[in-house]
Every structure is written in structure tokens, then in C-alpha cells.
Chain A
Amino acid sequence: MPAMNMIQALRSAMDIMLERDPDVLVFGEDVGFFGGVFRCTEGLQQKYGKRRVFDSPIAEAGIVATAVGMGAYGLRPVVEIQFADYIYPATDQLISEAARLRYRSAGDFTAPLTVRAPYGGGIFGGQTHSQSPEAIFTHVAGLKTVIPSTPYDAKGLLIAAIEDDDPVMFFEPKRIYNGPFDGHHERPVTPWAKHPASDVPDGYYTIPLGQANVVRPGDAVTVLAYGTMVHVALAAAEDSGVDAEVIDLRTLNPLDLDTIVDSVKKTGRCVVVHEATRIGGFGGELSAVVQEHCFYHLEAPVQRVTGWDTPYPHAFEWEYFPGPKRVAEALRQAVEA
């Protein structure tokens, strides 16, 4: 089984789907000849031709709108938004159109598109290349939201997303495109090649949407995380010595409630971690479902470790980024409460 980094795994997923299904096409800014600014689509145009993998005008709303129209026709477009920060011009097409097309036409028209967008901080991208807008889309009925944390998951989840008959927001944690960054920014990034999750089959496989993954079993506290924060949470568990059970949510909507509830009922404690700003963030939803379903099992308040409620500050991203130190502190507080 070859080792792949996340970019290669994502490319492999698109490659397989382009090969298997003539209704799949890939487009977006710079994704064709150049292969995308993160090179996720590199080589795909050469392999499948510019009819199936092509560049688009720099207009996110236009990219998503045309993908909605293509979906209504019966294709399965996979579009790239260069950075998740740039997705906002397309929100009307995503929220008002793609998400509701099936509903408002009672199944007559559907929008089976996949929107790929690199998100999150830790690359010195400033406030326009670092945001985590996932909570905005989880609030929308009719959209699915997926965030992988390993190359293996990225490939299986992306194939599942492309095959899904509903519109899927696929946020890619760009900080871990090349290696499982654990939040210790002063340490060199270990490449994916040295990580078991970089063993990615060449061929087709899927990871079903809506299923979380217990990546570290433990008894003392449940940590709910996704994307880069899964690795930060693992580092924090190690650093703190707390026997934390780390759950990689993988899909935020639909959410795997059973896995969360089973774990919190077992540990009696819960820490939620995400990069996005705290107010109105997805951590609020996670805290609420834990409270609703596990209140009588809780032995400590649910804690949230998140980005601060400011835009992403370029020069201070390590102070902003919820690193293992902050997560470890929350773990200790949770078990000592």
C-alpha cells in the first residue's frame, strides 16, 4: 500500500471518480492546466482532458451556480474554492439554492455537487487565508459538511462525497496537507509518510458520511475534534498524561451522535476543540448535544477550546491557534473538576 500525503490522497479520489463516472467533472480557479494552487488536481487535466478538468473565471458564486445547474442536469461536478475564506460570494448559491433544490422541487431536481475548500490556519495566511467557516454551513438544512484528518480518510470521504446525491461541503485542513501537524509549531512537521494513516490504497474505497472515528480510546475524558485539531488533541492527550478518548467527527452534518453519546456516557467528561472562532461555532452545537443527551452522566462542565473571537491575526497565529498546551490545560481541568 503506497504512502500518500493528503493532497495525493485527494487527487487519487478525484482520479478514481473521473475514471469511473463520466458524469464527474472537476473545475475551479487554476485547477486545470496548473493543477490548483495546492496541486490537488495536478495531472488530472493531462489525464482526462480539459473538457473534464478545467479552469474557471474567478467568481465563486459563478462556479457554484454553474455546478448547481450541472447537478440539476444530472452531472456530479466537483468544484474547488481556492481558499475557504473565498467561499462567501458563493453562499447564496450554496445556502439558498444547492441546499434546497431537492426540497423545493420535491426531488424533481437535485444538486449532487461536491465543494472542496482548503480551510484553517497555521500557514501564515493572515485573515483571508486561514478561516474555518464550517459552522455556517452546518447550520443549513440540506448541506452535508465533511472534514477529514488523515490521507486515508480524505480519500475515502471524498469518494463518498462525490458519490453522494446531496450537496457536500468538503473542507480540507490545509495545515495537514503534507503532514500531521500537532500544533507544536516550533517543531518540524513530520511528513505523512511516517504515519500509519498515510497507507492509502490505490484503488476505490469509501468511508461513509456520518460516521465518526474513535482515534484514541480512553476513559477519563472525551475530546471531540475534526481536521487539524484531531492531531492537536492527540498531542495534548500525550503531553498531559490524561487518558483522553479522542473522537474524530469526520462529518459534522449529519453528525454521528451515537458515537459521541456512548463515549461521553463512558467518560463523564467532554472537551470540544476547533480552530474556528468560539461564538456561534460548531463547538456550541457539540456542547449542546452532549448536554441534551449526557447531562446525568456529566461530572464536569463541557469545555470548549477554540480560536479566539477575532479575525485570524497574521503575526500572532500561534497565539490564536488552539495548540496542544491549551487543549492539555482543558483536559486537566476537565478531569480535576
Chain B
Amino acid sequence: MKNEMPLALHIPEPKFRPGDHPDFSDMRLPAAGAAPRPDTHANARDTHPLVYDLIRVLDEAGQAVGPWNPKLDPETLKRGLRYMVLTRIYDDRMQRAQRQGKTSFYMTCTGEEAIGVAQAMALDRADMCFPTYRQQGLLIARDWSLVDMMCQIYSNSRDRLKGRQLPVMYSSKEAGFFSISGNLGTQFPQAVGWAMASAYKGDHRIAAAWIGDGSTSEGDFHHALTFAGVYRAPVILNIVNNQWAISSFQGFAGGELTTFAARAVGFGLPGLRVDGNDFLAVYAATEWAAERARANLGPTLIELFTYRASAHSTSDDPSRYRPADESKCWPLGDPVERLRRHLTALGAWTDAEHEALVEELTQSVRAANKEAESYGTLGTGPTVSASTMFEDVFKEMPPHLRRQRQQTGV
């Protein structure tokens, strides 16, 4: 048969560009509380309707509804709110530090705070996290030292990574926070390997990994799902769909065709699609997946549906490729405000308490920053000795590196 029609390509295009008025009214948003909650021992197939659904707990009035409500006590909720507010203030402080020339680079997680914070709280402190560069909330919710984090940002004399890593690429085995790579998605199958090792040793710890919507296009994403499924690794595989991979909208990762959670189906994994701006939904889904992993039922794929409210990084200007007010129009709101409203609706939180919290945390971040700056900044020093750049390439320094260190004269 001769093809009479000239063939054509489809190049995805986001719905709105700068100058457009963003209108998300046609977005299908299932009501809070509507998604069913399968038993944690359910067959993977039982979750498959949920990969196209959206698990939501907090409704528009700030009430927690439906079977996914994790029924957290007010003290836990307040702790969650505290960590989210702290994460936002920390981000704001470090973003300004970058503008002041104290560091080269910074990435905020504005709008995505519920993910790092709720997931850290739903996991055990001993579980190992394999994050991307936008889950600083994991460290903060694990009460990791802000000064330590800032010293990494400033590449100063107390930088535990000795000035080798781009700011925000933290690493702390003690905090259960795996070294961040700039090569996207590489941590996803590594987390599977770590989880396999934990299972091999009969350990009790599970692993959790995060990847962005854009990076699901990387081969490593698919390797992770294959290996996790094949060996039934105790791992939670999270896709943070924040709609944007720098300036490429999620359609370029296949998001126009299906949901990211639906990738679970072909691999035989359970999958959940979750409102990523809903602290309670994120917590509940993570708890569900962790329970499965701990019961040797294997991995779970979770899509956290959210919006990257700020720029990709301090090197990015999102107003060049999307409407400036798009984040404000995002129909799932702001995670911090939603949890605050919930606590207020419960009668467990007041505006005065919130203002006092913001003030307290602002002061503590300011104090931490002052201390961190006393150990130096990238702009002004001091830094660790440059001679340390030859350390840790190998466990023992081989002769050629010893010679090169001598040549630098440091």
C-alpha cells in the first residue's frame, strides 16, 4: 500500500508559555478521599487502577478524608509543618547567599517540601535514601545539622565533602543520605542494589530512591525497575513529577501519553499516584510502600504529582519558558499552606503560633548561617587545603598522585 499522506512528527508543547494565562481547569483532579486503599499485602495488580488515579487525603476545607488518611496525631503533624517551614526558610536563606556571591549555585525545593519531609517521617531513620538534588527536606526532617549542610553549600573549611561537590550535592552515610550525583537517574538502580544488599544480609533497613519526571527517560530508570522487580528488592522508587525538567515540560518524558506511575504496570510492580502537595497523602503512600518492602513483598513505584514552584536552580530563569504566575495557579496549592490549614481546621494551630514558628526558625537559620559563614564561604574562604583534592581518589594514594600533589606545592 502506498502511503498518500506525508508523515509528520509530534513535538510536545506545554499548554502555556510566557504571556499566556495558565488555566488548569481541565485537569482531572479526583476528590480527596476517593481513591481506594488496597491492603499492603495486596497483589501488585490490585494497585493498578491507582496508577491513573490520584491519592489525596486533604480536601479543600483542610479536612483529612478517606481510606488513605494516616491519622497522624497533631504533634506529628506539627513536626511535619515545622520541618517544611524550616526547609523553605533554609532554601530562602541559601538562595540569597548565592545571590550575595557566597556560593556558586543553589537549588530550592519550593512547592515540593511535603515530599522530602513527609517521606523522611514515614521512613525509619535507619533506612537509606538515594535522593535527587531537591530532597533537602530528607536531611532536615532527620534533624541533620543545618550548619553542616551550609558548610557544604559554602565549600568552606568544614565542608565534609572537602570542596569537591557542587553545592546541594550533600552526602552523609550517618544521615542515611546517599551521595548525590549530577548524572541524572544513576542513583535509582544503585538504590535497588543497596536494597538487594540489605536483603542479602538479612538486615531490617530498606532503601528509598527519588528521580525527576524528566530523568525517567534515562536508561537507569528502566534498569532500576527491572532489577527491583526481578529480585523483589525492598526499595521504594519515587518519581517526583514536578512538571518541569529545567525548561522541558514533562511531555518530553512521555507524560502526555500516560502517567508516570503507570510505568509500574509493565514491570509488574505496584504503583501509586499521589498528590505530592498533600503531606498526609505522601506520608500514607510512603508508609504503605515501606510496609510492603519490610514484609518482603518487594518494591513500589510512587509518582508524586507536584509542581516546581521556583526556578530549576539559581542558573535558571523560568519566566523565559513558562508563565510567571503558573505556580500560583497550580490547582493543588502549596503544601505548607495546606498542612497549616489542616492543623488550623483541627483546632491545633493558630496564626499566632504559625508566625511565632516562622520567626523562631528564621532566627535559628540565621544563627546557623552565621556559624557556617564563620568557617568560610566559596567567595571569601577559608576552604580546606587544596592538597586534599588528591585524597580519596583511591583508598591508598598511588605514587602518581603523590607526585602530582607535590607538583602543586600545596
Contacts and interface: CB of A to CB of B under 8 A. Distances in A.
B171 A62 contact: no
Contact of B197 (A59, A73, A101): A73
A68 B160 CA distance: 21
A101 B194 CA distance: 14
B179 A69 contact: no
Interface residues of B, number: 45
B190 A69 contact: yes
Contacts of A67: 193
A107 B395 CA distance: 8
B196 interface: yes
A267 B348 CA distance: 86
Given A101-B179, A104-B179, A108-B179, A72 B190 contact: yes
Contact of A69 (B195, B201, B219, B394): B195
Contacts of B198: 73
B28 interface: no
A102 B193 contact: no
Interface in A15-65: 25, 51, 56-57, 59, 61-62, 65
Contact of A59 (B164, B186, B223): B223
A104 B193 contact: no
Contact of A104 (B164, B192, B207, B219): B164
Contacts of A70: 193-194, 196-197, 200
B398 interface: yes
A57 to B, nearest CB: 5
A144 B396 CA distance: 12
Interface in A156-190: 164-166
Contact of A57 (B171, B173, B230): B230
A60 to B, nearest CB: 9
Interface in B117-166: 128, 130, 160-162, 164-165
The interface centre, meaning the residue of B128, B183, B197, B230 with most chain A CB atoms within 10 A of its CB, is B197
A102 B183 CA distance: 16
Interface in B165-201: 165, 169, 171-173, 178-179, 181, 183, 186, 188-198, 200-201
Contacts of B10: none
B284 to A, nearest CB: 27
A254 interface: yes
- Number of contact residues on A: which range applies? 35 or more
Given A59-B226, A96-B181, A97-B183, A106 B392 contact: yes
A54 to B, nearest CB: 8
Nearest to A96: B183
Contacts of B160: 106, 108
A105 B179 CA distance: 6
B194 A61 contact: no
B220 interface: yes
Nearest to A167: B394
Contacts of B186: 65, 92-93, 96-97
Contact of B394 (A57, A102, A106): A102
Nearest to B179: A105
B227 interface: yes
Interface in B93-115: none
A62 B223 contact: yes
B400 A97 contact: no
A283 to B, nearest CB: 18
B394 A104 contact: no
A131 to B, nearest CB: 21
Contacts of A104: 161, 164-165, 169, 171, 179, 181
B324 to A, nearest CB: 35
Contacts of A97: 181, 183, 186, 190
A280 interface: no
Contact of A65 (B207, B220, B391, B392): B220
A24 to B, nearest CB: 11
Interface in A106-127: 106-110
Nearest to B198: A73
Contacts of A255: 400
B190 A66 contact: yes
Interface string A138-161: 000110100000000000000000
B399 interface: yes
B193 A66 contact: yes
Interface in B188-218: 188-198, 200-201, 207
B219 A61 contact: yes
Contacts of A65: 186, 188-190, 192-193, 220, 223-224, 227
A56 B226 CA distance: 10
Contacts of B398: 210, 254
B276 to A, nearest CB: 25
Contacts of A77: 193
Contact of A108 (B172, B188, B196, B393): B172
Nearest to A72: B194
Nearest to A89: B219
Contacts of B192: 65-66, 69
Nearest to B203: A73
Interface in B388-409: 391-395, 398-400
A106 B171 CA distance: 9
B254 to A, nearest CB: 20
A72 B189 CA distance: 12
Nearest to B207: A69
Nearest to B163: A106
Contacts of A57: 223, 226-227, 230
Which 6 A/B pairs are nearest by Cβ-Cβ distance?
A69-B193, A66-B193, A62-B223, A65-B189, A73-B197, A69-B190
Given A65-B192, A72-B194, A107-B392, 8 more contacts: A62-B223, A66-B189, A70-B194, A72-B190, A75-B201, A89-B219, A109-B178, A257-B400
Interface of A: 25, 51, 56-57, 59, 61-62, 65-75, 77, 89, 92-93, 96-97, 101-110, 141-142, 144, 164-166, 210, 254-255, 257
Interface of B: 128, 130, 160-162, 164-165, 169, 171-173, 178-179, 181, 183, 186, 188-198, 200-201, 207, 219-220, 223-224, 226-227, 230, 391-395, 398-400
